[in-house]
Amino acid sequence: MRNLYKLFEKLTGIQLTLLVASILWGKTVIVSFVGFNLSNHSIFDSFLILTGSIGSLLLAMGFSFYFGQKVNKFILFGLLLVGTGVLYGDLLYYRFYNDFVTLPVLFQFDNVGGLSASTLELMSWWDILLFVDLFIIGSFLFRKKSDITVPKQRKRKYVMVSTSFIMITICFALIKSVHIFSESYDREQMVKSIGLLNYHLYDIALSIKAPLQPLIVTEADADVLEDYTQPKSSERMDLFGVAEGRNIILITLESMQNFVIDHKVNGEEVTPFLNELIKDSFYFPQIYDQTAQGKTSDAELMIDTSLYPLASGSVFVRKPENTFNSLPHLLKENKDYYSAVFHGNDRTFWNRDVMYESLGYDKFYSKEDYTVTEATSINYGIKDIPFFKQSIPYLEDLPKPYYAKLITLTNHFPFLLDEEDIFIDEADTGEDVVNRYITTARYLDQSIELFFDKLKEAGMYENAVFVLVGDHYGISEKYEKGLSELLDEEINIANHMKQQQVPLIIHIPGQAGETITAQGGIIDIRPTLLHLLGISADHHYSFGHNLFTRDRSHPVIFRDGSFLSEDYIYKNNICYRKEDGEVVNTKNCEVYADVARQELSLSDHIIFGDLLRFTYD
Ligand code: GP9
Ligand code: MN
């Protein structure tokens, strides 16, 4: 150690800065390769991961001497500390979400389920290694006595070299993909191509630009929307209007994935009620979770507006004052519906109080409208059984016809239940999270059964149309091993995609059941429902398709630019054959990739530019 210190003592100002920059570079590279599961990289990818951060790291570290004659030890150490902190934050976030932190997500951190309750679970003893250098460098740095002046000329050279590195990085990234910057929603591609630090800087720049966009666009920008209407279809006109005039009861099933349907654990059905219900319902087994960082709020956005969520952050938090051509508005204009939303959490969670106004809800029943005691709540708020029970009298009082959206809560990570609410044994995989998920999924199933019973008792069942939909995945990729054990399936891309399916059930009392195998997403719910209600879906600026008539060649698009077509899976810029998960030539996916690019950018344009305000007189 003493010899090491002697060497350290000899370092000049520039050498010292370079040393600290390379330590942070080393840590960034290790975290990128080991911590982030940046799938299947080629030699060129590895080269980009290795080199991408160098320029900006150097430039950033230079702030320790740009404004003085010598290196400011506090600034240098501070940069190392902050850099390490950011790296560790990224790592923890990635471990749970398999995604990278964005600036908007930091502003909605109170709403990011999962992390707060279980940050400890995401940490590992090995993580200490990420901080060891801080003690060594810290103790050396503040003892260092030798001269660390940086002459002016050297500063200039230093800046030139750093910026050249940045330029080269940008060129390489563009060689990798010309769409890299317009597809910034593909964060994995960004991080792989320009490095973690540059990714963060670009993300910050985008977040600053976003609020300015509504000021730049004009009415003419909205003209493009006119072209974007869904093709008319004459198919399945037998179903057009079969639910006309009925009260709509839409239930979002928190974290419910489709694999639980008809699945048995220890010989027992996980969701016996839903399994029965689907026999007399339209059941859509191939509906995919298309949410991003906004989780439940993204699902709600798609249900109500049929727009794509944002790539970073939630529209509920970032653009809640926009004009939306939403389901409550459409229902009111076309059939004079009253709209209410029910959720047993704080009004402000996901900024719902503000967003629901814009979406046109007449009433929001939130935590303050429910009796929430220690006995009736767990995790995020009121348990689903008391939630449904207490919602009945409110529903009874609603003006008819109504659209009621009920948002369940109990089946939420980390899937906790009180003893008296456990109606099925836990599963027996190596992942506790997966094992507990079975019990909370069953609790949700039971709560819905009870709700249906109560509605029947109160005479509110017959004249309703029910839409039940899983809002997004519950078991994240981190716990995929446990899930594959539960389902006795190997981990591969085809199974991974299948696990992104969420159940969608549309139940119309008196209507015969049918399983609709069309591939689709949550974004397709609105046009499907409107079809059943007898409301034509033209000119609704909707990205969704009626699932009864959905063109099979249209891909199901995910927010990171990946998609699923009838025959292919496209993920992380790799094209796979859907059938067996074999990698195939990217050309097979190109035509769909263009559609995905076009739809995502138009949807973003609508949201960031608040373009729908021009469609109202
Ligand atoms: C909280 C509930 C759960 O109110 O909507 O949120 P999530 O973490 O799933 O987005
Ligand atoms: Mn949710």
Q: Distance of alpha carbon 237 from its chain centroid, rounded?
A: 35
- Ligand 1 atom, smallest distance to 294 CA: 10
The span from the CA of 535 to the CA of 546, in Å, is 12
Beta strands per DSSP E along 204-244:
none
pLDDT at 380: 83
Q: Which of 97, 252, 350 to mutate to test the pocket of ligand 1 (most atoms within 8 A of CB)?
A: 350
By C-alpha distance, which of 118, 556, 537, 593 is closest to 334? Answer: 537
- Ligand 1 atom, smallest distance to 472 CA: 9
Instruction: List the 568-571 sheet strands across, edge first.
Output: 556-557, 563-564, 568-571, 574-577, 583-584
The span from the CA of 473 to the CA of 494, in Å, is 16
d(CA 287, ligand 2 centre) in Å? 16
d(CA 297, ligand 2 centre) in Å? 7
Q: Does ligand 1 come within 6 angstroms of the Cβ of 296? A: yes
- The C-alpha R_g of the chain, in whole angstroms, comes to 27
d(CA 411, ligand 2 centre) in Å? 9
Mean pLDDT per block of 10 residues along the chain (617 residues) reads 82 94 96 81 86 95 94 96 95 87 80 57 86 93 86 94 96 90 85 91 90 82 67 74 98 98 97 98 98 96 97 93 95 96 94 96 97 90 96 98 98 94 97 97 98 98 98 94 96 94 98 96 96 83 91 94 96 92 95 94 93 81
pLDDT at 227: 59
The stretches of 262-419 forming alpha helices (DSSP H) are: 272-277, 295-305, 315-318, 327-335, 352-359, 384-396
Ligand nearest the Cα of residue 113 is 1
Nearest CA to ligand 1 atom 5: 296
Exposure class string for 101-121: b at 16+ Cβ within 10 A, else e: bbbbbeebeebbbbbeeeeee
d(CA 513, ligand 2 centre) in Å? 27
Residue 146 Cα distances to 1, 8, 141, 152, 590, angstroms: 18, 9, 10, 19, 59
Ligand nearest the Cα of residue 112 is 1
By C-alpha distance, which of 391, 293, 432, 400 is closest to 336? Answer: 400
- Ligand 1 atom, smallest distance to 349 CA: 4
Q: Does ligand 1 come within 6 angstroms of the Cβ of 113? A: yes
Q: Does ligand 1 come within 6 angstroms of the Cβ of 349? A: yes
The token pair at 510 is 């008196």
Nearest CA to ligand 1 atom 8: 113
d(CA 245, ligand 1 centre) in Å? 30
Phi and psi for 39 in degrees, rounded to 5? Answer: -65, 150
The token pair at 257 is 């994935």
pLDDT at 219: 77
Beta strand pairing status for 381-382 and 377-378?
Answer: antiparallel
- Ligand 1 atom, smallest distance to 298 CA: 10
Ligand nearest the Cα of residue 117 is 1
Q: Does ligand 1 come within 6 angstroms of the Cβ of 415? A: no
The count of other CB atoms within 10 Å of the CB of residue 346 is 15
Q: Does ligand 1 come within 6 angstroms of the Cβ of 97? A: no
Domain ranges across the chain: 2-211, 219-614
The count of other CB atoms within 10 Å of the CB of residue 372 is 18
The count of other CB atoms within 10 Å of the CB of residue 53 is 26
The span from the CA of 415 to the CA of 474, in Å, is 9
Q: Does ligand 1 come within 6 angstroms of the Cβ of 352? A: no
Q: Does ligand 1 come within 6 angstroms of the Cβ of 379? A: no
- Ligand 1 atom, smallest distance to 346 CA: 4
The span from the CA of 348 to the CA of 367, in Å, is 10
Ligand nearest the Cα of residue 343 is 1
Domain with residues 219-614, CATH architecture: 3-Layer(aba) Sandwich (3.40)
Transcribe 591-617 into DSSP letters.
Answer: HHHHHHHHHHHHHHHHHHHTGGGGG--
Decide: residue 375, CB within 10 A, 0-12 exposed, 13-18 middle, 19+ buried. Answer: exposed
Identify the residue whose tokens are 């319902």: 281
The count of other CB atoms within 10 Å of the CB of residue 318 is 20
- Ligand 1 atom, smallest distance to 343 CA: 4
Contacts of 264 (CB under 8 A, 6+ apart): 270
Q: Does ligand 1 come within 6 angstroms of the Cβ of 380? A: yes
Decide: residue 128, CB within 10 A, 0-12 exposed, 13-18 middle, 19+ buried. Answer: exposed
The span from the CA of 499 to the CA of 444, in Å, is 19
pLDDT at 115: 47
The span from the CA of 61 to the CA of 71, in Å, is 10
The span from the CA of 438 to the CA of 377, in Å, is 19
The span from the CA of 287 to the CA of 458, in Å, is 32
pLDDT at 617: 58
Q: Does ligand 1 come within 6 angstroms of the Cβ of 412? A: yes
Catalytic-residue membership of 296: yes
d(CA 163, ligand 1 centre) in Å? 42
Catalytic member of 271, 296, 439, 549? 296
Q: What is the DSSP letter of 232?
A: P
The span from the CA of 432 to the CA of 436, in Å, is 6
Cis bond upstream, residue 401 (ω within 30): yes
Which helix (H) or strand (E) element contains residue 251?
strand 247-253
d(CA 538, ligand 2 centre) in Å? 30
Decide: residue 579, CB within 10 A, 0-12 exposed, 13-18 middle, 19+ buried. Answer: exposed
Decide: residue 207, CB within 10 A, 0-12 exposed, 13-18 middle, 19+ buried. Answer: middle
Q: Does ligand 1 come within 6 angstroms of the Cβ of 409? A: yes
The span from the CA of 548 to the CA of 517, in Å, is 9
